[in-house]
Structure 1
Amino acid sequence: MTKHMHVERTYPTLPTQKHNVRRFSFQTKSCSVEDFYKLLTPVARSIYLYSLWNLPLDPRIKIFWRIPSYRCDPNIIPEFFSRFNLLRVLVIFNKVLMLSSFPVVITKLFHLRYLQVPFHQNIPESISELQNLQTLICSGYSLESVSLPVEIWTMQYLRYIHLRAATSLPSPRRESILNKHLVTRMPNLEEFSGLSCTSCTNEVFSGIPDLRRLIIQAPLFFDDSLPNGLMDMSILRKLETFKCYYWQHSWISCNSIKSFVFPTSLKRLTLTRCYLFPWEDISSTLIMLPNLEEFKLKDSKATDDIWRLSDEDKFKSLKLLLLDVLNLKHWESSSDNFPNLKRLVLKNCTDLQEIPGDFGEIGTLESIELHDCSTTTEDSAREIVQEQEDMGNNILKVYIHNNCRE
């Protein structure tokens, strides 16, 4: 039986001959380029590099979140990867070592399907040479905005883009991709993580019609309003998951939940750092999403501190509700508002006085989880569970965590 993958963990005691496999994973603490040459065959199909490379480093150290980040000499990369032109998977996973520029030689690996590199700057236009690429991950992190080239619209097989910075995506109609008669859509793209909110336009969304998961960010210092004052995602009829992260400096510009127009296909919604919205906007927005199963609202501040739900406010499909770091004090609701809720999670809601007592009547509710909430909220959760136990309902559980008091 042929070995599926060779995993190297024993450096510096390395084998003296190459292995007859096509998939390699280096998980030693460190390894040199010479060591890679000893083990890898030119017909290697997959390379996973988790080791620290013993490469010439730029002596300058970039401090980022107190983690030293060393920039690697990119000239070493071409010399190494030029030997493996049959690669389909290349993963360079390194939180310490960052490439100072995108290795152009990687864009010559025509057969590449999966690429992950420690990089956090603008992606060059040569990335479009990887016409078979399906997954692009840049694991480097940056507070500054980065951009993708307009040529990325020619990459028809891309399914997954993950970038850890607010990333600008040019319009697919920009001069017909620099006056070239090329297809200007990514019809197979299912997930985009890191898209800048400034690129959330109808033209961009029309080029990614099959998107199912979208995570957007605002740049650290973002002074412009949303395009046309709205982020209209209604054209994304297959979108199931949407997450939005705003830096604190962006709150003033992107502040209203009414700025979003969601497709009815949405099942999971996470909003972080929304600002100056009335709780009524939350209710009116969620009831327009008949398939919504999960809603998470984090680190946000409303204009009022009372969430009052009427009999007409029914979140029919909602199974998970998470509220984290909010200025909510009073919550008026009944079991009829959340007929299918399974999990209620409250985190750092120190102003909230209590959970609506009628929540114990939700037949589907399985757990109430509290993390660093007020003592009165904890007491109300215990009372709800105790009342249900007295009635013979032992399904509902309460979990209370008080890390701040420990």
Structure 2
Amino acid sequence: MVVASVFNPYFVQLKILSIDYHFLPDLSTYFVQHALFISAIFNLLRVLVFPHSCFAFPFDLTNLFHLRYLEVERFDCPPESISKLQNLQTLIQHEQCGSYITVPGTIWLMKNLRHVYLGSPSYLPSPRISELEIGILPNLEELSGLCSFSCTNDVFKSIPNLKRLMVRVSCSKEDVMTKRLIDMSSLTKLEALKCFRNAWEAISIRRFSFPTSLKMLTLTGNYLFPWEEISTLALLPNLEKLKLKESPATGEVWRLSDDDKFQSLKLLIFSYLHFQHWEASSDSFPNLKRLVLKNCSFLREIPTDFGEIGTLESIELHYCGTGAEDCARKIEQEQEDMGNNSLKVYIHNSRGN
């Protein structure tokens, strides 16, 4: 009954279609197995969503010329014919049926792509289409899921207008991060960068060359950077948000020198960091607005000078030790005693309560 209804003139004009395998398993399977028929019937389709599925990518879906948005939950790697979707602007593949996604080289022919989200580590091939032609994606603004092996100068130069990037930093045999520089300096419009890592081999932050345009940086995972290398991020003149999560740094003390000044930083978030001492002054973060500490249970104190940061609006602590909590309360009380009631301290799940 449901399948037969596609002949209804209403469905022929359909432009948005979402197929949920849990609620309509037969219809979902039918669409995948008869993609050629479907692409002919729904040739005006603009949006197509396949949640909760794990099939080989239906080649004939690439005949949907007008498609702008394609979202799939679990398909195999996209075929080379995906480049036929010349109007596609958003491609989302939450994860692959295997462990990696290999993106076909023909993606460099899809000039209208703006947003690409790949849930599994993804290999993006060289943009060199032929000896005389190098592909370029002039409209791509967001790329998520790129494996560090594909972070090459050739790739970055072919996505010159990228604004948001998420990289999965692995340490496989094919991707020896400890010996190779990731130079992002050609991404002159990059504003937000997230890097995830799940290996335990130490690497140096000096292996990364960040663009000066960067405003938001998130480092998640076990990079094992020395804290003095984290301090070099102060050289990024436009950095406004810095998030360090799940032990990216190693060492008990983060000591900032007088020259280490995060001039533009407004938000600083630490989550699951294991350092014990933090030595800094108000001059280290002159424009900080929010300080958020989550599960930093080993941290014994917060620099008392932070109360002198005129822009600081809040300090938030989630499951931190009593030493850090006491310091936060002391900073708040000192500011209140001086008539400054704008600084607020929020302690969640306080061990002192």
Taking structure 1 as the reference length, the TM-score comes to: 0.80
Task: After superposition, give the CA deviation of every residue in 1:173-198 in whole Å (9 maximum; x if it has no partner).
Answer: 1545xxxx766111111100011111
Task: After superposition, give the CA deviation of every residue in 1:143-177 in whole Å (9 maximum; x if it has no partner).
Answer: 7111100011011111110110100000011545x
Partners in 1 of 2:282 and 2:61 — Cα distance?
56
Distance 1:365 1:135, change over 3 A: same
Partners in 2 of 1:131 and 1:392 — Cα distance?
61
Taking structure 2 as the reference length, the TM-score comes to: 0.92
* Match in the other structure for 1:260: 208
Given candidates 88, 109, 118, the residue that maps to 2:46 is 88
The unaligned stretches of length 5 or more in structure 1 are: 1-30, 58-69
Distance 1:343 1:32, change over 3 A: farther
In structure 2, give the amino acid aligned to 1:280.
E
* Match in the other structure for 1:167: 122
Q: Which moved more, 1:295-304 or 1:261-270?
A: 295-304
What is the Cα deviation at residue 33 of structure 1?
Answer: 3.6
Partners in 2 of 1:227 and 1:341 — Cα distance?
33
The unaligned stretches of length 5 or more in structure 2 are: none
1:302 maps onto 2:249 in alignment: yes
Task: After superposition, give the CA deviation of every residue in 1:345-386 in whole Å (9 maximum; x if it has no partner).
Answer: 111111100111110111111111111110111111111111
* Match in the other structure for 2:223: 275
Q: Which moved more, 1:47-56 or 1:111-120?
A: 47-56
Q: Which moved more, 1:304-313 or 1:215-224?
A: 215-224
1:237 maps onto 2:185 in alignment: no
What is the root-mean-square deviation in Å for CA atoms of aligned residues?
A: 2.6
Partners in 1 of 2:54 and 2:278 — Cα distance?
50
CA contact (8 A) 2:74 2:97 kept: no
Task: After superposition, give the CA deviation of every residue in 1:105-130 in whole Å (9 maximum; x if it has no partner).
Answer: 22000111111122343111010000
In structure 1, give the amino acid aligned to 2:225.
F
Within a 5 Å distance, the mapping from 1:2-401 to structure 2 comes to 32-34=2-4, 40-50=10-20, 52-56=22-26, 74-92=32-50, 94=51, 97-140=52-95, 144-173=99-128, 175-176=130-131, 184-219=135-170, 224-226=175-177, 229-247=180-198, 250-252=199-201, 255-284=203-232, 286-401=233-348
In the comparison of the two structures, how many residue pairs are matched? Answer: 353
In structure 1, give the amino acid aligned to 2:11.
T
Partner of 1:349, secondary structure, is coil
| Identity rate, percent | 52
